[in-house]
Amino acid sequence: MKQKKEKIAVVGAGLVGSLVAIYLAKRGYGVDLYERRHDMRRSGAEGGRSINLALSNRGLLPLSEVGLGEAAKKMVIPMRGRMMHSEKGALTFQAYGREDQAINSISRGGLNELLMNEAEKNGVNIHFNHRCTDIDFDNSKLFFDIDGAQKTETADIIIGADGAFSVVRGIMQKTDRFNFSQHYIEHGYKELSIPPDADGNFKLEKNALHIWPRGNYMLIALPNLDGSFTCTLFFPFEGDPSFEKLRTLQDVDQFFKATFPDARELMTTLLEDYQQNPTSSLVTVKSYPWVKNKTLIIGDASHAIVPFYGQGMNSGFEDCRILNQILDQYSDDWKTTLQVFSNTRKIDADAISDLALQNFVEMRDLVADKDFLLRKKIEAK
Ligand code: FAD
């Protein structure tokens, strides 16, 4: 492929930034990818924790388009349905679809490394320890802090893929007629785990997304390749029960024994995990327009959503696929591409954002509701 003349700078080598860099390098652009953190392939991204995500067909399609479909499939554990755990330990399985249909549990760090490796194979220059601090939209300039030293770069096109608390979006926010909203829900989350048994085997059904729905809150667990499950407790910050009310490790132990008794037995590292892992908040971010001159924001930077539909990364990957499609359609005319992308994609981003909020109610509450299950059966007929 002939090398194209435009130089592209992508801010953020997370999941979406790395994927868009691959797409653009494959189109023949010179791509520089700037990442605030150091290289996770050397240091381990998650401080020894395994954090996983649900990868659906929406996200697998773009991975396949850039030639990573088979590699990604080797890293996943298919989850064919939800396994609900009642307070008494009774199990109910709801298939997501037909036998061959599933969503896939995949390691966040593993997938990010796969994407960064592929980006480099395609000629992308990744610059670590580069924290973007400012953008000059009129002159397409980027400003970085590298361990206290300042650096300026220029690019023909800038793509901000720097996550929910995007600096690039923050600078757009200061420009005229930029709309922005940010909403924190009343729940936060904490990552916990169910280690494998002594023989390295899964302690629960491997091919399922496990849910302990408890009305206003829930615990979920997704399988990892090493036989463990990563659990997430979605729980109110305040009220009763809440993170605030679980003051001591004894409170935590008692609460889990009473509320998630079958899980508690398997969570042999619960108290260490609870103490060590942070309690994090959950935010929905909406913004518009996503383009300022030659700078575009994508992924969580433009539309961060709550995780209950498992679609944040998947829709960010879809951003990359659609951007590539529009570049095809308009023969790499960036001015038109950026406008068409921003105009058409916003509607879908808003839709998935609303669905994600609604699905929290279904997961934590309605999945355990017998009337709801009956209604679902009737609707399915
Ligand atoms: P990020 O992953 O946040 O990456 C942004 C990158 O930019 C990072 O590498 C960061 O270091 C870098 N960066 C930030 N600021 C700067 C700067 N100033 N300069 C340079 N670099 C910078 N999605 C799913 O599809 N399925 C799921 O199952 C799922 N589960 C989730 C569970 C939880 C608890 C949460 C919180 C989210 C979940 N998501 C899920 C959403 C998913 O994590 C995000 O949508 C996805 O990570 C967005 O990718 P991104 O590349 O846009 O942003």
Residue 102 lies in a domain: no
The ipTM is 0.99
Pocket around ligand 1 at a 6 A CB cut-off = 11-17, 34-37, 53-54, 131-132, 161-163, 167, 189, 232, 299-301, 307, 310-314, 316
The range of the structural domain enclosing residue 26 comes to 7-69+108-182+283-363
Tell me how far CA of residue 134 lies from CA of 12, 51, 286, in angstroms: 14, 30, 21
Residue 335 lies in a domain: yes
Pocket test for ligand 1, best of 10, 11, 15 (most atoms within 8 A of CB): 15
Q: What is the pLDDT of residues 25-34, one digit of tens each?
A: 999 999 999 9
Is the pLDDT at 380 greater than 50? The verdict is no
CATH number at residue 341: 3.50.50.60
Is the pLDDT at 359 greater than 50? The verdict is yes
**For 320-333, what is the mean pLDDT?**
98
The predicted pLDDT at position 366 comes to 62
Is the pLDDT at 302 greater than 50? The verdict is yes
Rounded distance between C-alpha atoms, residue 298 and residue 246, angstroms: 37
Percent of the chain with pLDDT over 70: 93
Q: Which residue has the tokens 């991975």?
A: 63
Rounded distance between C-alpha atoms, residue 301 and residue 165, angstroms: 7
Rounded distance between C-alpha atoms, residue 226 and residue 52, angstroms: 12
Q: What is the pLDDT of residues 196-244, one digit of tens each?
A: 999 999 999 999 999 999 999 999 999 999 999 999 999 999 999 999 9
- The candidate with the shortest Cα–Cα distance to 157, out of 10, 313, 371, 374, is 10
Number of helices (H) and strands (E) in the chain: give both, helices first.
13, 19
Number of domains in the chain: 1
Are the C-beta atoms of residues 127 and 35 closer than 8 Å to each other?
Answer: yes
Other beta carbons within 10 Å of 164: 18
Is the pLDDT at 365 greater than 90? The verdict is no
Residue 351 lies in a domain: yes
Pocket test for ligand 1, best of 158, 300, 309 (most atoms within 8 A of CB): 300
Cα 274 to ligand 1 centre (Å): 22
When comparing pLDDT for 364 and 198, which is higher?
198
Q: Whose CA is nearest to atom 35 of ligand 1?
A: 307
Residue 172 lies in a domain: yes
The predicted pLDDT at position 6 comes to 87
Cα 116 to ligand 1 centre (Å): 14
The predicted pLDDT at position 363 comes to 78
Residue 17 lies in a domain: yes
Q: Whose CA is nearest to atom 33 of ligand 1?
A: 307
Q: Where are the beta strands (DSSP E) in the chain?
A: 7-11, 30-34, 52-55, 77-79, 81-85, 91-95, 103-107, 125-127, 131-136, 141-146, 149-154, 157-160, 179-194, 209-213, 218-223, 229-236, 280-288, 291-292, 295-297
> What amino acid occupies position 333?
D
Ligand 1 atom closest to the CA of 144, numbered from 1: 19
Other beta carbons within 10 Å of 152: 11
Q: What is the pLDDT of residues 123-162, one digit of tens each?
A: 999 999 999 999 999 999 999 999 999 999 999 999 999 9
Cα 281 to ligand 1 centre (Å): 14
Is the pLDDT at 19 greater than 90? The verdict is yes
Residue 198 lies in a domain: no
Q: Dihedrals φ, ψ of 229, to 5°? A: -120, 140
241 cis-preceded (ω within 30 degrees of 0): yes
Residue 303 lies in a domain: yes
Rounded distance between C-alpha atoms, residue 374 and residue 362, angstroms: 14
Q: Which class for 137: exposed (0-12), middle (13-18), buried (19 or more C-beta within 10 A)?
A: middle
Residue 199 lies in a domain: no
- The candidate with the shortest Cα–Cα distance to 169, out of 291, 282, 280, 283, is 291
- Average pLDDT over all residues of the chain: 93
The predicted pLDDT at position 361 comes to 79
Cα 26 to ligand 1 centre (Å): 23
Rounded distance between C-alpha atoms, residue 19 and residue 2, angstroms: 21
Is the pLDDT at 379 greater than 50? The verdict is no
Pocket test for ligand 1, best of 283, 313, 315, 355 (most atoms within 8 A of CB): 313
Q: Whose CA is nearest to atom 1 of ligand 1?
A: 163
Q: Whose CA is nearest to atom 37 of ligand 1?
A: 307
Q: What is the pLDDT of residues 49-66, one digit of tens each?
A: 669 999 999 999 999 999
Position 3 confidence tier, pLDDT thresholds 50, 70, 90: confident
The predicted pLDDT at position 46 comes to 56
Are the C-beta atoms of residues 17 and 161 closer than 8 Å to each other?
Answer: yes
The predicted pLDDT at position 378 comes to 45
